[in-house]
Structure 1
Amino acid sequence: MTANNSGLVAARDQALAVRALYEVLEERFNGKTWSLHELMIGFSNDVGYIGRLLLANDGTWGIDGDVDAELKHKLAESMWWLFVLADKLDIDLDEAFTTTMDTIRSGLEKTIERTAP
């Protein structure tokens, strides 16, 4: 965990604390916590809803409620899902994000340099 992404670390910690509360309720109501597949279905459902919210934002899909508020909520919730899934898969998302962005940025910078007029 790097100092550059301490916001990600704090967000992860908060996300996992919320997940722990959900797990208490899942155990009480279902006798078990959600599997990795169930978590992924929940995430996929929210991603699909973001697509509909983007259409609503463009005025091509009607929804009840405040589109901006819903988008903020679902985008934040999607980050929550990513932290939860990464935790279940034992992936350090902070490290993975930093490494991935460094690799992508380096490749883009080389391409821009190579294709400069």
Structure 2
Amino acid sequence: MDQNNLDEIIRRSLGIRESYHELERQHHGTEWTLEEDALAYLTDAGLVGRDIMSHQKRWLKKDSEAELKHKLGENIWWLIVLADRTGIDIKEALDEFLTKTEKLF
């Protein structure tokens, strides 16, 4: 994936999060806190585990591949949102992680 595609994914991700913030303000009067976003991410991360089990036929669930694909995308979306909310440049964080890890090998 080139840099422009990642920039577009980040832009779209943050736009979607802003739309959810608007719904939160309409329904609850306030946006979710950073902690609530983190909890939502952790819930979705846990569901990836269940979807992997289903994908491996160890947990019965209809259309497990579609759900796994959706949850994997949703988890990446959450990581982009959480990075933005904490002031971390996700592209820089990913690059630093990859560089550091590549040096281990």
User: Unmatched 5+ residue regions in structure 1?
Assistant: 109-117
Deviation at 1:6, TM superposition (A): 2.9
Which residue, out of 64, 68, 71, partners 1:71?
A: 68
4+ residue runs of structure 1 moved beyond 6 angstroms?
Answer: none
Deviation at 1:58, TM superposition (A): 1.1
**1:62-106 CA distance string (max 9 Å, x none):** 12x311100110000001100100000000000111111011112
Deviation at 1:7, TM superposition (A): 2.5
Which of 1 and 2 has greater Rg? 1
Greater relative contact order (Cα 8 A, min sep 6): structure 1 or 2? 1
The aligned residue for residue 45 of structure 2 is 47
Deviation at 1:5, TM superposition (A): 3.1
The aligned residue for residue 98 of structure 2 is 101
* C-alpha separation in 2, matches of 1:98 and 1:89: 17
The aligned residue for residue 85 of structure 2 is 88
TM-score (norm 2): 0.94
User: Unmatched 5+ residue regions in structure 2?
Assistant: none
